[in-house]
Every structure is written in structure tokens, then in C-alpha cells.
Amino acid sequence: MTKVYVGMSGGVDSSLTAALLVEQGYDVTGVYMKNWTQDMPGLKCPWADDLADAKRVAVHLGINFEVFDFENEYKHKVVDYMIEEYKAGRTPNPDIMCNQEVKFRIFLDAALEHGADMIATGHYARVENGVLKMAADANKDQTYFLYRVTGEALQKTLFPLGEFTKPEVRKMAEERGLTTAAKPDSQGICFVGQIGIRDFLSQYVEQTPGAIIDKQTGEKVGVHDGAIFYTLGQRHGLDVGGGLPYYVVGKDMDKNEVYVSRDLGDESLWRHDIPLTAIHWINGSPRDGNYQIRVRHRAPLVPAQLSGDILHLDEPQRAVAAGQSIVIYDGDVCVGGGIVR
């Protein structure tokens, strides 16, 4: 019997994942990954409640349950990386790094060491012989967050929810009596629940006020509390009153200045060519050609031509910030992607 270790977060997706695998005849062990337990001011980290929910489902399903403590590795590989990227003025995606470094590397290795043949998670994606494909539910598809996983890891991974929609998942969980069936999806950063990125970063970086400058006129139009907290295309949180809204069109980390414009057509907001770094291909070696790309989660797929480490777009894309990921598709196959330089 194939032994599968399921990453159980305490949510409905991973709960149903475990239930379906039990029904399909696998030898299932549930695993809660203890990645983050730190409270934030005014907000208690929900890890203990999530652990209790995951354990409750495991008991209901009659499967073994374990806790893997990855907190030190997580802090080093994901949290420190994220903070350093923001300090450098870039816009990282910690969920992508979490999948690359923790779920499909450290967790996979630990599961195999414990005797597992495969791992499974509640991601909305499909995998066939190590090839990553988009989920049936385009609205919930999570391949954007999985593009840095290796083909070797995917060969040992199951995504049982790839064929279902979220409403179907909740209905199936309810039919099986899973206590997490109606539990709301977690929002915010992957490891701090309901807290926003600004509140999280504020615990690690000093808030240093600086000038908000109108790019067209060169005039100071406001004051911000740290250029680190702003990203390209941002409109909210500027506190610059009157008239048409301002958008962030750039920033200078050394001067701690944020540049804004009321012109949505400002050239700084739009990219025809996107230079990539740290390009990762899930299977095979890099290859130039015509693809579709996604510039952020849930953004529409748009055609692009890859030449070396440059993506050329027929239609320019808005607010493509350094540090964010561009994910590359060939039809419904996610072939890889890279990080914007």
C-alpha cells in the first residue's frame, strides 16, 4: 500500500485531501507543519487552533498524525528572505518561497525519511508524471505559487483537489462530516494569518518617514512612514488628499523617497519587456519561444515571447515590480518562471 504524508494545515482543503486519499486506498498520515508560532501586537497567531483542527480531522478519519517542527528553517528560508527583499526595495512572494523551500523540499525530505512514498497537499493544481498543470477551477488555480517546485518533487506529489472547484470541496467536506468544512480561508501572508504585510514588516524594520514626491512636478505632496512599505502601482495607503488618486510609480530606497503620479499611463507603470532573474524550469532546460505568462496570482494569462532572460510582451502589463514572480505557461502546463529584475 502506498504511504502518503499529507500536509494538514487545519483548513478545509487539506482536510478533504486527506479524506479523499483514505477513500482511494492510500496509507495516509496527516502532518501539521509548525512553521510559525509568533504572535503579533493585537493578533494572536492561530497556529494552535489550526493544529487542533487538523488533529480533529485526523482522528475523525482514523489516520496517524504527526507534527513536524520547521520553525527555524522557515524563519531562515522564508521570513528572512522576505524581509531582506523588502529592504532592498523589491516585492517578494513568501508563499512561493515557502513552497520551494519548505513544503516541497524540507517536508518532502522529512516525509520520505519517515517512510512515506509520496506527499500530498491541498493545492488547487494537477500533476501528471512530474508535469505541473493548471487546476480545473481557473479561479482557484494555484500553479502560480508552485512554479519553483522541481519536477523530481512533483513526481512524489499528489494534488487530489486539482479537478474540483472550491464550492465542490466544501460540499464534499460537509458530506464527510469534516469539522473544517465551513472554516473560512486564511487571508494575508502565508504565515501570519490576518495581519497585513505592513504590520508584519513593522516588527522587523524601523519606520522612517520620508517624502512622497509628484514625479511630474517634483513637488513634495505628502509624507510616508517608510519607502519599504510601498510597491509599484499602489494607490491605497498614501494619505495624499484632493483630486484624482495618486499611484506609486517608483521609489528610492537610499533617499527613502516614494514617487507618485496621477497619470495611469505613466511609462514607469507599464512594461513591454520584462527582464528575469533566477529563472526556474520545472522540467528540462530553458528554451526560448512563445508562451503565456501570469504576472501575479489571478492575473489573466497574456502571450509573451521568451528570448534568453527577457520576456517580450505584445500588450504591456501594469505594475510589474522588481522581486515579484512571472510564471510561464505552455497551454495548461506550468513550465516555470522567474523573478523580475
Asked whether the beta carbons of 92 and 323 are under 8 A apart, the reply is yes
Residue of 292, 295, 315, 208 whose CA lies nearest to 258: 208
H helices of 24-165, in order, are 47-61, 71-74, 80-87, 94-98, 107-113, 151-155
Dist. CA 100–CA 148, nearest whole Å: 6
- Non-local CB neighbours of 218 within 8 Å, separated by 6+ positions: none
Active site residue 334: no
**Beta-ladder partners of 326:** 338
User: Which amino acid, residue 232?
Assistant: L
Cell 464550492 locates to 167
Dist. CA 235–CA 238, nearest whole Å: 7
Active site residue 190: yes
For 286, other C-beta atoms within 10 Å of its C-beta total 13
| R_g of the chain computed on alpha carbons | 21
Catalytically annotated residue among 63, 98, 153, 258: 98
Catalytically annotated residue among 19, 21, 33, 190: 190
User: Which amino acid, residue 93?
Assistant: N
Phi, psi at residue 86, to the nearest 5°? -65, -40
Name the DSSP class of 25. T
- Non-local CB neighbours of 207 within 8 Å, separated by 6+ positions: 225, 226
DSSP3 helix / strand / coil % (the chain, rounded to 5): 30, 30, 45
Which residues participate in catalysis according to the annotation? 98, 190
